Structure 1
Amino acid sequence: MKKIAILGASYLQLPLVQKAKENGLEVHCFAWDDDKAVCKDIADHFYDVSVLEKDIILKECKAIGIDGILTIATDICIPSIAYVAHNLGLTGNSIECSLLTTNKSFMRQCFRENNIASPQSVTVSEFNAKDFESFAYPLIIKPSDRSGSLGVIKVTSLEECKKAIENAIQVSFSKTCVVEEFIKGKEVSVETISFKGEHLIITITDKEITEEPYFVELAHHQPSAFSEEIKNRIREVSYHILNATKVENGASHIELMITDEGKVYPIEIGSRMGGDFIGSDLVQLSTGFDYLQAVLDIALNQYNLPESVPSAAYSGVYFLSEETEFLLPVIKSDNQEKYIVKKEILSHGLKPAHSSNDRSGYLIYKSPDHKIILK
């Protein structure tokens, strides 16, 4: 029986653990043992260790004799996975790639060095007005190494900038943040798969986000409604980003901003499957492509990259928060419309969405011929 190591044990990893079990794999799961570790009782073996403790994980994985290691939808696991894979000779991405695809400061520098058009930006570890005197407001402040929109905010003045930088540095693991000029447009994500340096774009996802100054995702829809001309530009930029950040193996999730003029600007890339049910659910619903099976097979070095993936249906997810209170009766209702695949209330009480952690539930849909609009 082959053995697979999965980093993380929250609901984000649950579909991956279940898929691994369906494949008859022996599952070894590494994460803190807390009330969010829902995979603890499903995995064959559970290790109460932080996913950041790469040397401890390496020692355990070496003793176990794992055949592959991976995660989905979780950025903080990526450097540890690359470290273990590198040291055990397993299929994965390089340590350099893991840093370029999790640290926004390194990412921005990589984009500049590879002539990928990006907003003007600077990395800072403290507030100093001189660092961005040449910048034009509004600005976006982001922790260098966090996800889920945590600490991300738009600012329009020096006073707001100071407060936002101090907050972003506080929540950053590296105690740094990125300050960049704001690009106005519509946001998409690009879901990709790579094996041995060859890449395939699976689909493009349209996003709905909160009103400014926060940018929390409230809905995702596949396939994108953009024209083929724009989608071709999106694909071109995405392939450039994958190569520049040295992605070789596995899933990637690229976020881009499309301006009214049709220009494509990178927001960031994660060398892992998109969260928010994008990778675990929406991709297979809209294309028929088994994304979870693909990332497992790649980690085990037993994959054949397809030439293309067709769009077969429309799928999407809506998230419940104060901004989307209109979803509450639909999610609560005992009468389930035929387009609803899955729905759940995760916590009671609705909060304004300042990060992904503030969302209280979700609804996933699939439709054969049109996007489902719930307003």
Structure 2
Amino acid sequence: MTERLLVCGIGSGMDHSLAELRSGGRELVVVTDTPTGRAQAAADVLLVCDPTDGTAVLAELSAAGVDRLDGVFSLGADNPPVISVLADRFGCPGLPLETALNCTLKDRRLAILREAGLDLPRFATAESVEEALRAVAEVGLPAVIKPSDQTGSLGVIKVDSPGAVRERAAEALRLSPVGRIVVEEFLEGTEHTLAAFMVDGELHRFGFADREYGRKEEFAPYFFEGGDTLPSRLTEERIEEITDTVRRGARALRLDPAVINTDILRTRDGRVVLLEITCRLTGARIATEVMRLATGVNPLPNLVRLALGRPLDLSELRPTRDGAAVQRFLPADGGVVEWVGNPRDAARRVGVHDVFWGIELTPGTVVPPYRGGSDVLAGVIAYADEPAEAEAIAERALRALPLRFKSSAR
């Protein structure tokens, strides 16, 4: 019988990897709310709906006559609870819903990690502005306010003064479907992304990147992440220290077997703080393209094996390349588009893997002020022998973007 895989949810740019999931002996069902040309070309069955709405996904599958699945996962989309619901409904391998919720809802995740003794920021939860005022008083300033149930830095806001708490808390609460926010102590240091598989209590790391935050507070109170860099500037000893923290966090949350994405902060005084850990593939093309350009490791075959309940091939997680790769973003921060060309025109140079728009741009497009991590104007993926060289290639490609704004500020 032909194996049938469901890809439920496609993270930003991750449709580039859909074609690799096709196989002569496999049927690919894709659920997405952004049916790109790549998704249409790769899918045997393409269903258009919100991949974070389990009820809607089940209804679409039923309407399409899909009554059997052999494996289900997202491609960098942050919807583990829906993946768990679908796996249970169709009898596929997968984590329990409670486990998926524990790593997706920030307040639950923090409580479990604290109970396990991991180093965390001081934090408190709130379900109203008044509770947020008390939470900030408990945690202290500066603080970071986050919707408990949102992803992609949506609604993540820094608060520096008591007078700003009401407005910032109200904004974060509006963005939370369940009406709950987390208030965390603001910590400074370097941030990193670790990608891994966790199976039988063992963590198999296949990627480690430094997150670029040189312009982190340029758009305060919102944070801007400029991309990722491989290899890391950290020593191997410090990387292993971080890996051990992720392993402890994965075990505490019972993420096994699972593919794991993390966000880790190493403070200036050497603390290793697990900011995020969840059971999904690292998105935004990081695990599938950026890390792969630097290391040669392709996680997709093992992602499929995991979804089908088969053993991993650990040999495929060993690096075959020792290079450098970066992804760099430009923030979308206001202006009216006067003229726009094909970003591929900036990609025709050595070391440029891809250049892309983060939003749809046409003459007359009004770009709003920057409000969070998903507001990306454009991005580039570049590679070279050394990180500094790859960074320089990326910067040149972004400067050459075929785009002109009417705004004089541009």
**Aligned-partner residue type, residue 164 of structure 2:** E
Taking structure 1 as reference, are residues 84 and 198 closer, same or farther at Cα in structure 2, changes over 3 Å only? farther
Question: What's the TM-score once normalised by structure 2's chain length?
Answer: 0.82
**Aligned-partner residue type, residue 51 of structure 1:** P
**Aligned-partner residue type, residue 83 of structure 2:** I
Q: CA deviation at 1:207?
A: 0.8
Q: CA deviation at 1:64?
A: 2.7
Residue 66 of structure 1 aligns with which residue? 69
1:113-161 Cα deviation digits (max 9, x unpaired): 1101101111111112223323221000011111111111111112212
| Distance in structure 2 (CA, Å) of the matches to 1:168 and 1:38 | 34
Residue 233 of structure 1 aligns with which residue? 241
**Aligned-partner residue type, residue 367 of structure 1:** A
| Distance in structure 2 (CA, Å) of the matches to 1:259 and 1:19 | 38
Taking structure 1 as reference, are residues 111 and 47 closer, same or farther at Cα in structure 2, changes over 3 Å only? same
| Distance in structure 1 (CA, Å) of the matches to 2:18 and 2:202 | 26
Matched, 1:163 2:167: yes
Larger radius of gyration: 2
1:237-265 Cα deviation digits (max 9, x unpaired): 01111111111133211101111122111
1:42-83 Cα deviation digits (max 9, x unpaired): 3111223332442454573795311100002211x2101111
Q: Is the 8 A contact 2:18 2:38 kept in 1?
A: no
Residue 86 of structure 1 aligns with which residue? 88
2:318 pairs, out of 289, 292, 309, with 309
Root-mean-square deviation (CA, aligned residues, Å) is 2.8
Residue 177 of structure 1 aligns with which residue? 181
Q: Is the 8 A contact 1:82 1:92 kept in 2?
A: yes
**Aligned-partner residue type, residue 21 of structure 2:** A
| Distance in structure 2 (CA, Å) of the matches to 1:285 and 1:305 | 20
Q: CA deviation at 1:8?
A: 2.0
| Distance in structure 2 (CA, Å) of the matches to 1:5 and 1:16 | 14
How many percent identity over aligned positions? 22
| Distance in structure 1 (CA, Å) of the matches to 2:374 and 2:347 | 28
Residue 54 of structure 1 aligns with which residue? 54
SS of equivalent residue, structure 1 residue 26? strand
**Aligned-partner residue type, residue 67 of structure 1:** D
| Distance in structure 2 (CA, Å) of the matches to 1:200 and 1:303 | 13
1:66-118 Cα deviation digits (max 9, x unpaired): 1100002211x210111121343322222122112211111111111110110
Taking structure 1 as reference, are residues 30 and 370 closer, same or farther at Cα in structure 2, changes over 3 Å only? closer
| Distance in structure 1 (CA, Å) of the matches to 2:384 and 2:4 | 37
SS of equivalent residue, structure 2 residue 391? coil
| Distance in structure 2 (CA, Å) of the matches to 1:23 and 1:127 | 55
1:193 pairs, out of 183, 192, 197, with 197
Residue 143 of structure 1 aligns with which residue? 147
Residue 373 of structure 1 aligns with which residue? 391
Residue 100 of structure 1 aligns with which residue? 102
**Aligned-partner residue type, residue 211 of structure 1:** K
Residue 268 of structure 2 aligns with which residue? 260
Taking structure 1 as reference, are residues 107 and 313 closer, same or farther at Cα in structure 2, changes over 3 Å only? same
Residue 406 of structure 2 aligns with which residue? none
- Structure 1, 341-350 or 199-208: larger mean CA deviation: 341-350
Residue 280 of structure 1 aligns with which residue? 288
Q: CA deviation at 1:223?
A: 1.9
SS of equivalent residue, structure 2 residue 234? coil
- Structure 1, 143-152 or 131-140: larger mean CA deviation: 131-140
How many residues get paired?
370
| Distance in structure 2 (CA, Å) of the matches to 1:261 and 1:334 | 41
- Equivalences for residues 333-348 of structure 1 within 5 A: 334=346, 336-346=348-358, 347-348=360-361
Residue 381 of structure 2 aligns with which residue? 364
Q: Which runs of 5+ in 2 are unaligned?
A: 334-339, 396-410
**Aligned-partner residue type, residue 148 of structure 1:** G
Residue 354 of structure 1 aligns with which residue? 371
- Structure 1, 363-372 or 346-355: larger mean CA deviation: 346-355
| Distance in structure 1 (CA, Å) of the matches to 2:74 and 2:24 | 16
Q: CA deviation at 1:29?
A: 1.7
SS of equivalent residue, structure 1 residue 192? strand
Q: Is the 8 A contact 1:140 1:153 kept in 2?
A: yes
Residue 20 of structure 2 aligns with which residue? 19
Taking structure 1 as reference, are residues 149 and 109 closer, same or farther at Cα in structure 2, changes over 3 Å only? same
Taking structure 1 as reference, are residues 335 and 30 closer, same or farther at Cα in structure 2, changes over 3 Å only? closer
| Distance in structure 1 (CA, Å) of the matches to 2:12 and 2:227 | 18
Taking structure 1 as reference, are residues 98 and 42 closer, same or farther at Cα in structure 2, changes over 3 Å only? same
